[in-house]
Amino acid sequence: MSNIILQVNGLSKSYKDVNALSDLNLQVKQGTVFGLLGPNGSGKTTTLGILLGVIRQKSGNYSWFENGDKTENRKNIGSLLETPNFYPYLSAVRNLKIVAKIKNIEAPTPQIEEVLKEVNLFDRKDSKFKTFSLGMKQRLAIASALLGDPDVLVLDEPTNGLDPQGIAEIRELILKISKNNKTIIIASHILDEIEKVCTDVAILKFGKLIKQGTIEEIIGTENYIIVASTDMSKLTQLIDENAEMGVFKSSEKEIILKVSKETTPESLNQFFFDKGIVLSQLKVHTQSLETQFLEIVK
């Protein structure tokens, strides 16, 4: 059996004169944490809406679990598309019992207790929803998505509106859930969060797929090292003459070099010293998804 959880082919959607999605092709493998990354209006929520049967596409198709777009697939998908919506005067347990009834889960109590423990809310199981912080509300929503033990979780902007502590809690929870061999699909415009939790990423812009790959593939295999010298002219000349170095960015005060992973700061320092250049600055520049994202969407 294939390990492809989701296959998307040529998906398109328009709203009057606006193309929300244009010929989108995606492939999500089992056990990955897959990030749909892009600014607001890039088509992330539209994509998730189509994949969950909430929105009808204009053209193209998709298949869950190699079973097409059949309604029965949704029984194996837990989702959180909007702001958590529970009854404010009911406890966490009572709210989840309602969700379990909607999902036709028999004898739900053991499952409810299990998911509350998983999202670290068991100690507050009898507290009313209105007393929860935003982060706790979001964790309860993820608990409701986990009811029924789905193989796939689909989360739209799960950290939106949360404070740093709430963001950290959701990030840790996603990483914890992913270790149970669940496939998680996350739509977000927050690059830092995608980089910290996802194994794979697809970058969207104006409804079009710009790039897809693992986080490592997107970030790249090069080292980025910042160098500077009192003689910037000679330093620049030496760099231009060396085919193994590339200039990623430069200014009057420093140069960010793009070099191979094998190149260490020590070897670089020795190279310039042997050429008569004493470096006044030498440090590793951490390449991030944000850097690559800005380069890709230019």
Domain coordinates in residue numbering, the chain: 4-218, 220-296
Among 20-29, 166-175, 239-248, the minimum mean pLDDT is found in: 239-248
Q: Which of these CATH numbers, 1.10.357, 3.10.450, 3.40.30, 3.30.70, describes 220-296?
A: 3.30.70
Question: What gap in Å lies between CA 75 and CA 147, rounded to an integer?
Answer: 10
User: For domain 4-218, which CATH number applies: 2.60.40.10, 3.30.390.50, 3.40.640.10, 3.40.50.300?
Assistant: 3.40.50.300
CB atoms within 10 A of CB 172: 13
Distance CA 243, CA 77 (A): 50
* 3-state DSSP assignment of residue 97: helix
Which tens digit of pLDDT belongs to each residue from 90-142?
999 999 999 999 999 887 889 999 999 999 999 999 999 999 999 999 999 99
Q: What pLDDT, on the 0 to 100 scale, is given for residue 56?
A: 92
Percentage of residues of the chain with pLDDT beyond 70 = 94
Kindly report the pTM of this predicted structure: 0.79
| pLDDT per residue as tens digits for the range 245-280 | 888 888 888 998 888 777 888 988 999 999 999 999
Residue found by looking up tokens 């989840």 in the block? 96
* C-alpha–C-alpha distance, residues 44 and 202, integer Å: 10
Confidence of residue 221 (pLDDT cuts 50, 70, 90): low
Q: What is the mean pLDDT of residues 61-81?
A: 92
At 232, is the pLDDT very low, low, confident or very high (cuts 50, 70, 90)?
very high
Cα 266 from Cα 207, distance rounded (Å):
44
Residue 199 is encoded by which pair of tokens?
């194994």
**Which 3-state string (H, E, C) describes 6-52?**
EEEEEEEEEECCEEEEEEEEEEEECCCEEEEECCCCCCHHHHHHHHC
